[in-house]
Structure 1
Amino acid sequence: MNGDEQLLRGRIYGHDHDDPDPGPRPGRSYATLVGGPLDGLFLDVTDWSPDQRASGIALATELGRFGAGGRALYDPRPGDPEHFDWSGDSP
């Protein structure tokens, strides 16, 4: 596991890496990102509708193939709404 991967594990997507409590919070719902540049991060899906949870998402990241300004694409795992699987990168 490289330094970036260690920095991300167990953290919530969108929270600052310097956050003293970067992990999941009580009362919130999360999906785990699996694979790709954001592997191991939690995605807060608390306020998402069922339609949003069934759709894929493009998450901004500097760690993907396209660097700054790029996006990592994640799709919900069929039959397992607790996991979103990486499907590629986009500029």
Structure 2
Amino acid sequence: MDEQIMRGRVYGAEHDDPGPRPGHVYRELVGGPLDGLLLDVTDWTGEELARGATLPTELNSFGAGGRAQYGPRETDPQRWDWRGDIP
């Protein structure tokens, strides 16, 4: 998928409504297969935010069924860095 098309879209959002919603809280995914997407973390606890996320995606080194791991950047927790793919 073209990187510019994905940038600024919300992970898991519908194609006809891909943008961020007012009143929601997002983290930017940096690097890896979901680079440039936003992750909606509106109702996440502090513990969940510190832990990061393992997100299902076919855009990883394992293909269908694989997941990409992202976690908060130490110097900028609003940006979550890719930590690798898992099956």
**TM-based fold match above 0.5:** yes
Please give the alpha-carbon distance, in whole angstroms, between the structure 2 residues aligned to 1:36 and 1:49.
Answer: 24
The match for 1:12 is: 10
Q: TM-score when scaled to structure 2?
A: 0.92
Report the Cα offset of residue 9 of structure 1: 1.2
Return 5+ residue gaps in structure 1 as ranges.
none
* Superposed structure 1 runs of 4+ greater than 4 Å apart: none
Q: TM-score when scaled to structure 1?
A: 0.88
The count of residues paired between Structure 1 and Structure 2 equals 87
Structure 1 counterpart of 2:77, one-letter code: P
Report the Cα offset of residue 41 of structure 1: 0.3
Say which SS state the counterpart of residue 83 (structure 1) adopts.
strand
The match for 1:38 is: 34
Please give the alpha-carbon distance, in whole angstroms, between the structure 1 residues aligned to 2:73 and 2:52.
Answer: 10
Say which SS state the counterpart of residue 35 (structure 2) adopts.
coil
Return 5+ residue gaps in structure 2 as ranges.
none
Superposed CA deviations along residues 31-60 of structure 1, whole A, max 9, x for unmatched, are 000000000000001100111100021100
Match of 1:51 among 44, 47, 51: 47
Please give the alpha-carbon distance, in whole angstroms, between the structure 1 residues aligned to 2:2 and 2:59.
Answer: 8
